[in-house]
A and B are shown apart, each in its own frame.
Chain A
Amino acid sequence: MEKALWYLLTATRGGANRARIIRALSEQPMNANELAEELDVGYKTVRHHLDVLVDHDVVEPGESDYAKLYFLTDRFERNWDTFEEITERID
C-alpha cells in the first residue's frame, strides 16, 4: 500500500486534495457534503476522490445509506507514518 499511497497522493492531479480529505477524516468521520464544505472543494470533486480512496482501501463508508460517513480503514491506519511523511512536504 505504501508505494500506491505515494503515487496516489503526490504524483496524480488530485493528490493534494486527496491528502486534505484524509487529514480531515482523521480528525473526524464526515460525509461527502461536509468534506466539500470543510475543504472548500466542489461536491463532485470530493465524491470522485472518495471513490478513488475507497478503491484503494484508504477510506471506507459507514453503514447508513443517508449522508454516508467515511472512515479511514485499518489498513490505512497501519500506514499512518507514510502519510505523515508525505504531508510533511506540503507547506
Chain B
Amino acid sequence: MAMDPLIRYATVLAGVNVLLLLPLVGVWVRNYSTFRTNLVLGLVVFAVAMLAENAVAVYYFFSMSSFYSGDPHVQQAVLVLRGIQFVAIAVLSYVTVK
C-alpha cells in the first residue's frame, strides 16, 4: 500500500535525523573515551535514544501506514513533530561539530 505524501516526508525527516545523529554519537563516544565525564556519557545516551526513536519511527511509518492513511490531521501532526525534532538535532549537530 502506497504511503501518503505527508507520511513520506515525515519518514524522510526521520531518516535525515538518523543520519545527523550517527556523527553526533561518533563524536561523543570518542570524547567519552578521552574525558570520561558524566556530561558526555549523558550526551551519548541521549543521542542513542534519539537514534532509536527515529529508527522506530521509520519502521512504524512503513509497517503501519494504514494507521495514518485517511486522517490528514494526524499526518500533518506527525510531520510537524518530525520537523521540530529535525531542527533541534540539526542545531545541536552544528554547535557540536563546529
Residues of A participating in the B interface, judged by any CB pair closer than 8 Å: 6-7, 10-16, 52, 86, 89-91
Q: When A and B form their complex, what is the total count of cross-chain residue pairs whose Cβ atoms lie within 8 Å?
A: 42
**How many B residues touch the partner, as a band?**
10 to 19
Known: A6-B39, A13-B97. 8 other contacts (CB 8 A): A10-B31, A10-B34, A11-B39, A11-B43, A12-B95, A12-B96, A12-B98, A86-B35
User: What string of 1s and 0s marks CB contacts (under 8 Å) between B32-76 and chain A?
Assistant: 001111011001000000000000000000000000000000000
Residues of B participating in the A interface, judged by any CB pair closer than 8 Å: 27-28, 31, 34-37, 39-40, 43, 95-98
CB distance from B60 to the nearest CB of A (A): 31
